[in-house]
Chain A
Amino acid sequence: MRSQAMYFKVRAGDKLADRLLQQNLAKARSKFVDARAAAVAAYDGDFEALRSAGQGIRDRVLENLDLWLETFEERARARGAEVLYARDGEEICRLVTGIAQRHGVTKAVKSKSMLSEEAGLNAALTAVGVQPVETDLGEYIQQIDDNEPPSHILAPAFHKSREQVADLFARAHGKPRKTDIPEMTREAREVLREHFLSAGMGISGGNFLIAETGSVALVTNEGNGRMVTTLPDVHVVITGIEKIVPRLEDLATLMRLLPRSGTGQDISNYVSVLTGVKGEGDRDGPSHLYVILVDNGRASLVGSEFQDMLRCIRCGACMNHCPVYQTVGGHAYGWVYPGPMGAVLTPLFTGLGNALDLPHAATLCNQCGVVCPVRIPLPELLRRLRQRQVEAGLRPRGERIGMRAWAWLARRPRLYRLATRLVVRYLNWLAEGADRIRVMGVAPEWTAERDFPAPQGRTFHELYAQRRRTGEE
């Protein structure tokens, strides 16, 4: 997917001006937040200890990622899977289209895979004559809406209202418009069933890879994942190299965290652990299983100051709780991953200079950090990205000089006192006797949207010195 992350500021402005989107976001805003809070409150153990356990599992894997990958590879191969590595999105596309062509596939059904979004896989499949059909309901809605990218990693059509989906269905299905949600999902299910039965290949993501068994774990809510992974004769898994967990038992721990943190469910409707190809005498399952393990920037984070980010289990809690995401939605971020995790991953995966706004598009409120199931210090990572921008000379000249000049002044208290006295007097002059400033020439950005409370009159240090002199204090 081509990144538009450079245009965050403009895109965010457009999203704020989009009244329909703002209505939809206002309705959806608290849904996952409230659900998580309820699920955590109802958890019959120590959720904070669970978060630490989750962090521990993920950290252990990342310490020896190469060894765990080898173990996974060996065990998966023993069960008949073919394990492939993809360096980047282009290589994902090349491998998947190659597999499709080898098996004479003309239609592929897909369950959710953010990696395929990173690669722009659907366009690549279409180009070689393979029809990709998204079967996750949200992804399907996005696909029939002229392939609009998802705006949320769990709920791709998070930004759409029921009314908008009703219009899309009526147009795409050529049937009478429905607004009753069970009726709408039934209609989608009928359309998708035909695709499940006629597809030659299934493509899925993988939430976790279990090293000791060589299995792929899938966490879904709609059951489409099971159809995609068992009906077609060929199944392709595309997932990141960091998704490994050592043992099946670790999956149990992470599964206590993932649905509670993301959607607020105790457990997702479906949890599938897929191991190898169809065995002799098995009636279901693919004859061919390919697991594509993707780097696309991940390996470079191992051992770096950004390694913590690789713990991410893609629950979406950070974006659900982010005041910025809640305000502008996922599309403003301009690439595959929105919200705080996207603001960290996008510059790391697509280049620091290609996403200059994103690390700054956060208030550093740390709401993301306190809900992250694997304790990723997201604000700290955003701050480190800001530091890297400064070091690489990527910040605007005015900003750099301004910051240094201010810091220079703040190291010289006498000069600083003089300057602050002047500033206070200037601000009071601007306020013209009122308790606020409506237009501030030196910081017009501030008074574009808000008033600036006028200073009380003198600086604290000025008054303090005065009071000390008069012996009042």
Chain B
Amino acid sequence: MRVGLFVTCLVDLLRPGIGFGALRLLEAAGCDVVVPGGQTCCGQPAFNAGDTASARALATRVIDQFEGLDYLVAPSGSCAGMIKVHFPELFGEDERMRVRALALADRTFELTDFLVKFGGELQPPGDFRGTVTYHDSCSGLRELGIKRQPRQLLGRMAGVDLVEMAGCEECCGFGGMFSVKYPDVSAAITDRKCGQVSVTGADAVVLGDLGCMLAIEGRLRRLGDERTRVLHVAEVLAGEDC
């Protein structure tokens, strides 16, 4: 099956290793992975800012780029949620585009969700050793039902010991532009998350979204925590040498 990897704009910019990790995992699962060259961003920032025209223009581009492939997989619950849930909404009045958006939505998956559904007994090649705690990001959890999938995959790794934190389903305080518009409120919310992470004593907090990663890692470091690593689930599953 031909899988189109939607790298996401933040992975492209900040942690390309996550993209290569996703690539390695998908190939290990037997997929023929394609990285469409014209991809940029799914348009979520514009959508959430209320700029529907820009969001539609970017959504159209994603549809153009990916609709010829069997699947679209993204290492992000929030981008996958945008494509799967919100793209069809965006084209409410444009029937032709809505049908195309719905067709792509059906074939769009968040990375861990895809690996559990189509990856068979994939043994994650990563060599991480230590305790981890998992932060459920809001879009992945509440839009796509990503909850057991990353845990199931991490559970296949001998060196990984998962310790659940209290409030793992609570928001990290990122919220896209929210964190820039209300940095103080955002940071205060993240502080609760950081506290919950610290209590577990885990070596790493693992998550599936770059936004949460920026919020949590940025705040942990500012608060002086140099020990707790903040890792994307693809980095743990695939190994950090990607």
Contacts and interface: CB of A to CB of B under 8 A. Distances in A.
B201 interface: no
Given A367-B171, A423-B13, A450-B222, A324 B185 contact: yes
B50 A364 contact: no
Interface string A388-399: 111100010001
B214 A459 contact: no
24 contacts: A9-B182, A327-B188, A360-B177, A361-B178, A362-B178, A363-B171, A363-B176, A366-B139, A366-B143, A367-B142, A386-B50, A390-B51, A395-B49, A403-B51, A410-B58, A411-B57, A413-B37, A445-B181, A446-B179, A448-B184, A449-B186, A453-B214, A453-B221, A460-B12
B156 interface: no
Contacts of A16: 184-185, 188
| Interface of chain A: mostly helix, strand, loop or mixed | helix
A15 to B, nearest CB: 9
A323 B190 CA distance: 10
Contacts of A101: none
A452 B17 CA distance: 17
A456 B48 contact: no
Given A328-B185, A407-B46, A446-B180, A460 B19 contact: yes
Contacts of B16: 456-460, 463-464
Contacts of A367: 138, 142, 169-171
Interface in A332-384: 360-367, 369-370, 383
Given A16-B184, A411-B58, A456 B43 contact: no
A448 B184 CA distance: 8
A324 B182 CA distance: 10
B221 A12 contact: no
A89 B190 CA distance: 39
Nearest to A12: B185
B134 interface: no
| Interface of chain B: mostly helix, strand, loop or mixed | helix
Interface in A423-473: 423-424, 436, 443, 445-446, 448-453, 455-461, 463-464, 473
B13 A459 contact: yes
Interface string B24-59: 000000000001011111010111111110110110
Contacts of B13: 420, 423-424, 455, 459
Interface of B: 7, 9, 11-17, 19-20, 23, 35, 37-41, 43, 45-52, 54-55, 57-58, 61, 138-139, 142-143, 169-171, 173-190, 213-215, 217-219, 221-222, 230
A416 interface: yes
A387 interface: yes
B40 A416 contact: yes
Contact of A450 (B19, B47, B185, B215): B215
A436 B224 CA distance: 12
Interface in A303-340: 323-324, 326-328
A129 interface: no
Contacts of B221: 436, 450-451, 453
B54 A463 contact: no
Contacts of A406: 45-46
A404 interface: yes
B222 A461 contact: no
Given A362-B175, A411-B61, A460-B7, A450 B49 contact: no
B214 A363 contact: no
Contacts of B184: 12-13, 16, 448-449
Contacts of B222: 449-451
Given A410-B41, A449-B222, A460-B11, A390 B180 contact: no
A407 B48 CA distance: 13
Contact of B218 (A403, A404, A451, A456): A451
A453 B185 contact: no
B138 A365 contact: yes
Contacts of B17: 456
Nearest to A436: B221
Contacts of A420: 9, 12-13
